[in-house]
Amino acid sequence: MPHKEVAKQPSSTPGIISYLSSEGYPDSKKVLLLGSASDKLRKHDEHAALITDIKTCDEEFTLDKNGFQHIVEPISLRQHYNPEVADMLKRVTGASDVLCMAHLIRSSTWEEAQEETREVLQREGGHGLVQKMNPARTAHCDQSYTGAEQILRINFDEERVKEIMKKRWAIINVWRPLNPIRRDPLAVCDWRSLSEAEDLVGLDIILPTPGKHRNLGKAHGESHAPHVWNRWDIKYNPNHKWYYASNMTPDEVMLLKIFDSKKDGRARCCPHTSFASEMDEWPARESVELRTLVFWDEDAE
């Protein structure tokens, strides 16, 4: 009698996911200066989670089905990075054009940033800016559906915006480690486990001007005026399914769908965060996140 093949079980690691506080926002305005001491000191609700390693899964995870996609894609970080990323996104998504907006580099631990936060708070108050860029430690999506249109208007004039919105367009972030990941891994939430109506809460954020913050101020365009847009914070939902890619190297990327104009049932966003785990005694994680606008020739709806 032939042996029955036993299905491989995906492996998971225990971690802590930080969500929007059940107390809500500290004021009714729902406005936050990104990178400020007040931002770093916000209260969150922490929930234990089993985070599944996608490298041990038989299932294929894609941008349109899950909201994220893990790819092995060796690209030189020193020369022609943006054009090569744009070509990769066209190949993966079938897009006709890609605009690489800007990037963020993170190279500090949460503990290092918290130490600076206490110093800034004492010296400058809650609106003082913390320069250290640590991995984000709260579940979020960089832009809400409203915020995505605000990003479009930051980068294009109104006439061009109207033309773009006749076709399908999206915001996709390309996340890549700069060294092998041994702490603060990136966790991504499966779109299929998300409740759009219940889990996504809008928050207006103000981005510091380039002269005020050496990293955040360059995140979306070259304007010297502070940018404002709406993002999603995430409410806890026990149905959420979280994934990560273990031991990522600079030859790997995680694609994160921040927004998709297409409303045909495909994934439209991907909540994500770093998470606390037993790996956190290793040196600081270094990573680069490139934010892109992606365009197709197909109709918007």
Query: What is the per-residue pLDDT across 16-37, written as a single tens digit (0 to 9) for each?
Result: 999 999 887 665 556 788 888 8
Residue 10: pLDDT over 70: yes
- Tens-place pLDDT, residues 236-293: 999 999 999 999 999 999 999 999 999 999 999 999 999 988 877 788 899 999 999 9
Q: How far apart are CA 37 and CA 41, in angstroms?
A: 6
Q: What is the residue whose two structure tokens read 């503990």?
A: 111
- Between residues 59 and 222, which one has the greater pLDDT? 59
- Between residues 73 and 79, which one has the greater pLDDT? 73
pTM to 2 decimal places: 0.91
Q: What is the pLDDT of residue 224?
A: 47
Fill in the amino acid letter for 196: E
Where does the pLDDT of residue 1 fall: very low under 50, low under 70, confident under 90, or very high at 90 and above? very low
Q: What is the pLDDT of residue 158?
A: 95
DSSP classification of residue 10: P
Using alpha carbons, select from 176, 196, 286, 193 the residue that is nearest to residue 238.
193
Q: What is the pLDDT of residue 274?
A: 96
Long-range contacts of 68-73 (CB under 8 A, 24+ apart): 68/188, 68/243, 68/254, 68/255, 68/256, 68/257, 68/270, 68/272, 69/254, 69/255, 70/245, 70/252, 70/253, 70/254, 70/255, 71/252, 71/253, 71/254, 71/255, 72/251, 72/252, 73/251, 73/252, 73/253
Q: What average pLDDT does the structure give for the chain?
A: 89
* Contact predicate 285/182, CB 8 Å: yes
Q: What is the pLDDT of residue 3?
A: 47
